């Protein structure tokens, strides 16, 4: 299997990737800020507000990097707005716990994908992507809150497990939409993994990571 890294600073596929990440971080900030309003405790509000602040900090890093590469952040994000917004519009949480699961499962899937793709980038860009994807504390917080809630009411676990499966389905649908419309991103993945077998192995690793995440929540079936 061959593996390549991209070193061309203005490579359109890399700008696309950074644009997708930037819009993801921007929407993550807005969602966490909104979820903070649903928090049943003051400590919950504070925790999510701090996480939201971290996400907007990540967006600022991406904005700067896109500019250094000669790109425009708004134009770089634009191709991904429809798909990302469609995902969020179709998966609006109806409760505090659904919001936590959405951020943990949905954002976790996206982060796993971007970490995989980061392996095909030049060292400085790879490190930037990994820094942006660093956990802001949401993972442990979500696991603790969900496990506490399901211990009190076991029926909650079944509802949240169904919700998580819906999130994954919607995420895959919108991901396919992006790949169909942005050839550069698809070529980046195929070139980096070497062939379709490499792509299949990448998807398997992401699926495995998702299963581990569901087990941590206590929602595995």
Domain ranges for the chain, please list them: 12-217
pLDDT at 134: 84
pLDDT at 19: 93
pTM: 0.84
pLDDT at 147: 94
pLDDT, tens digit, 9 for 90 and up, residues 94-104: 888 998 999 88
What residues pair up with 44 in beta bridges, in sequence order?
A: none
Long-range CB pairs of 191-198 (<8 Å, 24+ gap) are 191/4, 191/120, 192/3, 192/4, 192/117, 192/119, 192/120, 193/1, 193/3, 193/120, 194/1, 194/2, 194/3, 195/1, 197/1, 198/1
- Helices in 39-137 by DSSP H: which ranges? 42-68, 73-90, 96-101, 107-118, 123-132
What residues pair up with 6 in beta bridges, in sequence order?
A: 121
pLDDT at 221: 53
Low-confidence ranges of the chain (pLDDT < 70): 1-10, 180, 221
pLDDT, tens digit, 9 for 90 and up, residues 186-200: 777 778 887 777 778
What CATH number does the domain located at 12-217 have?
Answer: 1.20.1260.10
């Amino acid at each position: 299997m061959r593996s390549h890294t991209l070193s061309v600073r203005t490579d359109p596929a890399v700008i696309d990737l950074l644009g997708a990440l930037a819009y993801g971080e921007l929407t993550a900030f807005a969602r966490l800020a909104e979820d903070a309003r649903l928090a049943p405790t003051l400590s919950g509000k504070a925790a999510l507000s701090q996480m939201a602040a971290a996400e907007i900090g990540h967006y600022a890093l991406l904005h700067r990097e896109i500019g250094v590469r000669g790109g425009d952040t708004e134009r770089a994000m634009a191709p991904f707005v429809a798909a990302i917004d469609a995902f969020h519009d179709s998966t609006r949480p109806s409760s505090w716990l659904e919001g936590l699961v959405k951020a943990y499962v949905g954002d976790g899937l996206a982060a796993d994908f971007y970490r995989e793709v980061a392996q095909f980038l030049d060292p400085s860009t790879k490190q930037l992507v990994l820094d942006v994807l660093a956990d802001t504390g949401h993972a442990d917080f979500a696991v603790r809150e969900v496990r506490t809630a399901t211990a009190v009411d076991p029926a909650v676990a079944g509802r949240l497990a169904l919700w998580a499966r819906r999130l994954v389905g919607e995420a895959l649908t919108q991901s396919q939409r992006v790949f169909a419309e942005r050839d550069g991103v698809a070529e980046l993945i195929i070139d980096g993994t070497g062939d379709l077998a490499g792509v299949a192995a990448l998807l398997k690793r992401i699926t495995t990571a998702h299963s581990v995440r569901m087990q941590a929540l206590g929602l595995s079936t």
